[in-house]
């Protein structure tokens, strides 16, 4: 994803990172290195899922429509079979989010899908040592219901605007206190999270489908100056130039059987091509279990079939998603110095016949199709989904 394909290549991994990559004729392999012959197969970067619900994740509850203090860190089950199924699909990094039944349903987590027994084993930390993650917001029909939730689209935007104004005022009180504890406002976890958004320390991941809802999300982000990734964007093809002008990236869901909610009735697999033509940074996501993590590669295939270029579709599975999570310096492409997240495929990534054979996270194999236990997670069968709850976008008020 950082240059031309290498027909006969060598990938050298050392201590969890890529030490070298290039043509076999000119890339030296260290003496004594363990070697794997992958002739006839394809190696590409690990896939980046910019919107997932694996791990039985839960977020905000029914007490209020805006709950920025909620942390999905406190709800993910890393022993869930959904994580192993994602590994079977070649996913090595995922933005795990709460649902979209709220205007703001909590703080998301960017996870490396390492094999681990606790959530700490999967966490990603940023350059400041803090746990990496964003903030989930939503608009449209999902977050509209009986009070205290909004009943209209206009009220939805008004409630969001009100909370960000409060966050601006909270931040100003802290500034005026200038370190004086006596003058500091009472600590407010809700406001702290929103201030992180205002200061660019946390990216908003905004569930939105209809073209007018997309423009409302853009309007609010511009008003308060926060970073944002537009998620789903079913009607992106209607307003691709406007999205491009906003400068915000788009994480698309690509469906093989559209339906489920009225506001997504005009979803099109032409979205990728339209956004690419307009110059928008495009990524893909599963919204698992709306689409199955094991079949993430086909999102790119569908987009290419409807006009997106092969190059940008493959980038959308990898480096573009990494950019949306601000991890592009660490993952998303096969380059010396980056973390050794990669997958071994049986053939072309866009072929319906291709299978993920092996998945590696930081140089460690986390999925091997030749292992009967791993094969179960790749193909289904008894036990492959025990412990998971079905997630249906548009049918559960608190999930998407």
Predicted local distance difference test score (pLDDT) of residue 214: 98
Predicted local distance difference test score (pLDDT) of residue 262: 85
CA-closest candidate to residue 261, choices 392, 124, 162, 130: 392
Average pLDDT, the chain: 94
Predicted local distance difference test score (pLDDT) of residue 228: 98
Residues 6+ positions from 269 with CB-CB distance below 8 Å: 254, 255, 302, 303, 305, 306
Positions in the chain whose pLDDT score sits under 50: 392, 394-400
275-287 residue pLDDT tens: 999 999 999 999 9
83-112 residue pLDDT tens: 999 999 999 999 999 999 999 999 999 999
Predicted local distance difference test score (pLDDT) of residue 257: 75
pTM metric for this prediction: 0.94
d(CA 213, CA 150): 14
Predicted local distance difference test score (pLDDT) of residue 255: 85
Predicted local distance difference test score (pLDDT) of residue 395: 40
**What domains are there in the chain, each with its CATH number?**
46-332 (3.20.20.140)
């Amino acid at each position: 994803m950082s240059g031309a394909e290498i027909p006969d290549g060598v990938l050298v991994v050392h201590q969890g990172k890529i030490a070298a990559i290039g043509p076999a004729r000119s890339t030296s392999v260290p003496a004594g290195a363990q070697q794997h012959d992958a002739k006839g197969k394809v190696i590409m970067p690990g896939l980046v899922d910019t919107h997932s619900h694996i791990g039985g994740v839960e977020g905000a509850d029914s007490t209020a429509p805006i709950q920025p203090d909620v942390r999905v860190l406190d709800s993910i089950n890393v022993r869930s079979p959904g994580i192993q199924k994602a590994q079977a699909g070649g996913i090595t990094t995922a933005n795990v989010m709460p649902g979209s039944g709220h205007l703001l349903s909590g703080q998301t987590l960017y996870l490396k899908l390492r094999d681990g027994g606790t959530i700490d084993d999967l966490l990603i930390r940023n350059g400041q040592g803090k746990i990496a993650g964003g903030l989930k917001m939503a608009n449209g029909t999902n977050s509209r219901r009986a009070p205290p939730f909004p009943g209209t689209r206009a009220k939805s935007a008004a409630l969001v605007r009100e909370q960000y104004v409060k966050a601006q005022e909270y931040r100003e009180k802290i500034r005026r206190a200038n370190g004086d504890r006596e003058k500091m406002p009472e600590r407010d976890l809700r406001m702290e999270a929103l201030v992180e958004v205002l200061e660019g320390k946390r990216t908003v991941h905004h569930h939105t489908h209809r073209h007018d809802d997309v423009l409302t999300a853009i309007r609010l982000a511009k008003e308060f100056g926060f970073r944002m990734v537009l998620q789903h964007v079913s009607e992106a093809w209607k307003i691709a130039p406007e999205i491009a002008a906003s400068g915000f990236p788009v994480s698309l869901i690509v469906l093989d059987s559209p339906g489920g909610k009225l506001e997504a009735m005009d979803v099109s697999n032409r979205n990728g091509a339209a956004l690419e033509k307009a110059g928008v940074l495009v990524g893909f996501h599963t919204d698992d279990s709306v689409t199955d993590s094991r079949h993430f590669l086909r999102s790119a295939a569908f987009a290419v079939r409807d006009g997106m270029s092969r190059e940008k579709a493959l980038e959308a599975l990898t480096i573009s998603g990494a950019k949306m999570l601000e991890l592009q310096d660490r993952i998303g492409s096969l380059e010396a110095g980056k973390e050794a997240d990669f997958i071994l495929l049986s053939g072309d990534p866009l072929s319906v016949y291709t299978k993920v054979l092996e998945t590696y996270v930081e140089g460690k194999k986390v999925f091997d199709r030749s292992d009967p236990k791993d094969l179960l997670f790749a193909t289904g069968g008894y036990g492959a989904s025990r412990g998971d709850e079905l997630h249906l976008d548009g049918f559960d008020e608190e999930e998407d």
